[in-house]
Amino acid sequence: MDSPQYLFLDFEFTMPETKTNPNGFCPEIIEVGLVAVVDDQIIGQFSSYVKPLRFPQLTERCKSFLNITQEQIDRGMSFYELVSLLRQYDRDRPTTVMTWGSMDMKVLRENCQSAQVEFPFTGEHRDLAMEYKRFFGNKNQTALRKAVQEYGNEAVGKAHCALDDAFTAYTIFRLVENDKKYLAKTKPPTIGERIDLTQLRKKFAL
């Protein structure tokens, strides 16, 4: 049986012109970045712009925030091609999808329903932001690049570039997994180490 695959996935989405969503607007995927990892080795990566189906014209706010142009999106792959690509990754090996937060999978599901195509993934999905929050006991969810900086590392590339964010998610995953392994190997203190037995003996000698 093939070794399992971790697919670190990041999407960027369309945005309305104002922060209040107009009637009928829903975010659509316009950029994909993914990093495929098997046995702790990167076996592949992919990056592309994606043409939205429902609202093909980007708003000025979206172009400014993501620093992209309409021409870049117009030259991108179709949403159907994106789903086909993701489905192929899922078929090649047992796949666990890794994202920072839950939004990527939520929007992918909604876009698939809107386009009337089957959701491409059949395996597990792990929200690394939630795992990070639980591991460190944080009250609030930490932004991806802030999480890397808290480890004293630099994020990959620039923010809101899908492939750079996918690589950054892989970076923080390795850091947290190494910490988990270290903690698992560290033996808990014995009762003798936790209690000062000399003081205990003095107490009972009185």
Catalytically active residues, by annotation:
12, 160
The residue whose two tokens read 């098997």 is 38
Rg (CA), the chain: 22
- Sign of the dihedral through C-alpha 175, 181, 185, 186: positive
SS3 state of residue 154: coil
Q: Which secondary structure element, helix H or strand E, spans residue 45, and what is its range?
A: strand 41-51
Tell me the CA distances in angstroms from 108 to 27, 119, 175, one per residue in order.
Answer: 10, 8, 27
